[in-house]
Structure 1
Amino acid sequence: MNEITLIGIDLGKHVFHLHAQDAKGREVFRRKLSRTQLLPFFSNLKAVTVVMEACAGARWLARKLNAMGHQAKLISAQYVRPFVKSNKNDYIDAEAICEAASRPAMRFVEPRTEAQQLLVALHRAREGLVTERTATINRIHGILLEFGIVVPLSKATLRRLPDVLAVHDLPPRLILLMHRLHAHYRYLDEQIDDVERDLTLQLREDENAARLLSIPGIGTITASLLASEIGSIAQYAGGRNFAAAIGLVPRQRSTGGRSTLCGISKRGDKHLRHLLVQGARAIIQRVEKRTDRLGEWIRSMLTRRHSNIVACAVANKLARIAWALLTRHTAYDAARLELAN
């Protein structure tokens, strides 16, 4: 048997399909393994490069394989798709992963650490709770509006919702339903507060947190998500590469020597991009009070561009600043801010 140098894994919930090849790209074997068979199989195998798509469970498996001495690499699914030959099945997908990983200019995804994965889990839980809380608020508002009661969508009003209901002549069953929805809203609000406290505690264990929190427009939620999503900062050649990974740079449709730039590409984590843009808007709202170079740059941009464009430009700048601070291991210093694009 030829010596194995590369193994591609098509991940599944219960079964995994493997495609192994040698240094010349020739197939050595194809194999189907269950979840209980996978790790024992690799523990008895000589150290090789193992590649899989960056999907659910991939980062956990990458950490396990790295601990065994293998070199685990993750690749984005969009880069694998062009290498799928003819009909699609699990073995062909595993072969396509090997083919894509063999390209010398291929880009790989840095596996997250366990601490970073925990931060991601907390953020996903918080995001779902916030969405459910918003839906509950809208549900309360919509039902009461059908009975001619307009309730402002504010926390202060929602806290005293039982008092608001008491002064209106409503059916008893509707009042009972509103109390149930109000109790559900309070439960979700408490859960969100608990998750945010866990995020703050987890962030204290991260040495990069203080550097990220020193950046204007970046608070605990954004800093924790940045710390979890950025992975290893060494994978980004520059601040623009990191901003591009988040989707804060223009899409290109250039041909025939003519350069055409469109809107932002919206790649990467949309939640992180949303938080950076909202942080940028917060800076813009108080830009008149800023006397540093960042404030001067924003005021200059506002005279020439729409506020939405400026918000994306400032979010791009915040991402670049975050990359610079994590690379240089320094805190934010407004006096040393470089505004050149």
Structure 2
Amino acid sequence: MSLIKAIGIDLAKSVFSIHGVDSHDKCQLRKTVKRNKLLAEVAKLPACIIGMEACSGAHYWAREFTKLGHEVRIMASKFVIPYRQNEKNDANDAEAICEAVSRPKTRFVTIKSDEQQAVLCLHRIRQGAIKDRTALINRLRGLLAEFGIVMPKGRYPAQHAISGILEDGENNLPMLARELLSDLWQDIKALNQQILKHDRKLYQLANQMNAARRLMTIPGVGEITATAVVATVSDAKDFDTSRAFSAWIGLVPRQYTTGGQVKLGRISKRGEKHIRTSLIHGARAVMANCKNKTDRTSLWVKDLIERRGFKRATVALAAKNARLIWALLRSKNEYQIDYVK
């Protein structure tokens, strides 16, 4: 068997397909192994390039394969699909991964450490709890509407009014419904406590991370945004420019250019939804408090609001903050108001 140059592994829960090629791109390895034998199989191979699609477990396997001396590259599935031949199956997917991993223009995902994934785990659990709380409030609102009781709009006004509605004995709410809706209200309060616990943990982590503390010097970047960025981006040098970083978050216009005619649309909304949402929320908070400020950013924001409207200005400020985040991660400096190069 010739020396293997690169292999592609199609990750799964129990059974993994492997496809390997030599320096002449000829197939030298094509087999299927079970999960408990994958590490042993890869350990037999000489040091080579290993390609995998970004999916659940990819970063774990990447760390394990790196310990064995291999160069591991993780890529998005959209870069693999064009290289798949014939029908979709595990063997053809592994072959396509092996082909895509050796292409010079394929972009790869930086391998995350255990600590980074632990922080992201906290973010995902917090997001899930917020989603569950919203669902419960909407459920409570809908069920009360069946009895002609309308809750106020907004999370805070709604939660403030729930106790009074359930304790009001003159609203003709049946006892069974009152008991069931009270249980829902207890679940909402439990989720409030759970989310508060997660927030406090994020604040604690943010103060322990040097990079996160630097990012929090940017107006509109708080503990949630800073910890999410640090846990997701291993090295800012993976992005050539600040615009590339902003595009990865999905804050640049979608482009459709042909025949020399440039057409820019709305933001692409690709990439990291959680970071993009946090940046936009932070930008909205900054804009709400910039009326009486005279620094360069506040003056720029106020002028932009007059010319383009509040929502477009919000996205523009979020994109600006994304570029500042990239710059601070690269330079390891702190944000300076009215900085002049």
C-alpha distance in structure 1 between counterparts of 2:117 and 2:260, whole Å: 43
- 1:270 aligns to 2:273 (yes or no): yes
Note the alpha carbon deviations across 1:240-275, whole angstroms, 9 max, x for none.
110010111111111111111111111101121111
Shift of 1:279: 1.2
**Conserved 8 A contact 2:249-2:276:** yes
Partner of 2:308: 305
Which of 289, 294, 303 is the aligned partner of 1:291? 294
Distance, in Å, in 2 between the alignment partners of 1:68 and 1:205 is: 31
Using the size of structure 1 for normalisation, the TM-score is: 0.94
User: Secondary structure in 2 aligned to 1:333?
Assistant: coil
Deviations 1:218-258, CA, capped at 9 Å, x for gaps: 11111111112222211011111100101111111111111
Residue in structure 1 matched with residue 109 of structure 2 by the alignment: 109
Q: Does the CA contact (< 8 Å) of 1:294 and 1:337 recur in 2? A: no
- SS of residue matched to 1:5: strand
Aligned pairs, number: 338
**Equivalent residues in 2 for 1:72-151, closer than 5 Å:** 72-151=72-151
Structure 2 residue aligned with 1:161: 162
Q: Quote the Cα distance in structure 2 between the aligned partners of 1:43 and 1:202.
A: 36
- Label 1:201 to 1:93 Cα distance change in 2 as closer, same or farther (>3 A): same
Given candidates 214, 220, 224, the residue that maps to 1:221 is 224
CA distance, structure 1, for counterparts of residue 131 and residue 183 of structure 2: 18
Q: Is the 8 A contact 2:295 2:338 kept in 1?
A: yes
Residues 214-253 of structure 1: pairs in structure 2 closer than 5 A: 214-253=217-256
Instruction: Give the direction of change, closer, same or farther, for the CA distance of 1:157–1:300 in structure 2 (3 Å limit).
Output: closer
Q: Distance in 2 between matches of 1:145 and 1:121?
A: 36
Structure 1 residues without counterparts, runs of 5 or longer: none
Residue 161 of structure 1 aligns with an amino acid whose one-letter code is I
User: Unaligned stretches of 5+ in structure 2?
Assistant: none
| Aligned mates of 2:84, 2:173 — CA distance in 1 | 62
What's the TM-score once normalised by structure 2's chain length? 0.94
Aligned in 2, Cα 1:20/1:186: closer, same or farther, shift over 3 Å? Answer: same
> Would you say the 8 A contact 1:293–1:337 is kept in 2?
no
Moved over 6 A (4+): none
**Which residue is equivalent to 1:256?**
259
CA contact (8 A) 1:42 1:65 kept: yes
Which amino acid is 2:297 matched to?
L
Task: Check whether the contact 2:251–2:268 (CA below 8 A) recurs between aligned residues.
Answer: yes
Deviation at 1:337, TM superposition (A): 6.2
What letter matches 1:63 in structure 2?
A: R
Aligned to 1:8, what secondary structure does the other structure show? strand
Report if aligned partners of 1:51, 1:73 keep a CA contact under 8 Å in 2.
yes
Distance 1:308 1:161 in 2: 32
Task: Give the share of equivalent positions with the same residue, in percent.
Answer: 39
Which whole-Å CA distance do the structure 2 matches of 1:232 and 1:33 have between them? Answer: 33
Q: Which moved more, 1:97-106 or 1:55-64?
A: 97-106
Q: Which residue of 2 aligns with 1:316?
A: 319
The 1-side partners of 2:204 and 2:115 are apart by 12
User: Which residue identity does 2:62 align to in structure 1?
Assistant: A
Asked if 1:36 is matched to 2:36, the reply is yes
Give the AA of the match of 1:185. I
Is the 8 Å Cα contact of residues 54 and 76 (structure 1) preserved in structure 2? yes
Root mean square deviation of aligned Cα = 1.6
Match of 1:61?
61
> 3-state DSSP class of the match of 1:304?
helix
CA contact (8 A) 2:253 2:265 kept: yes
Matched residues in 1 for 2:158 and 2:247: separation? 41
SS at match of 1:73: strand
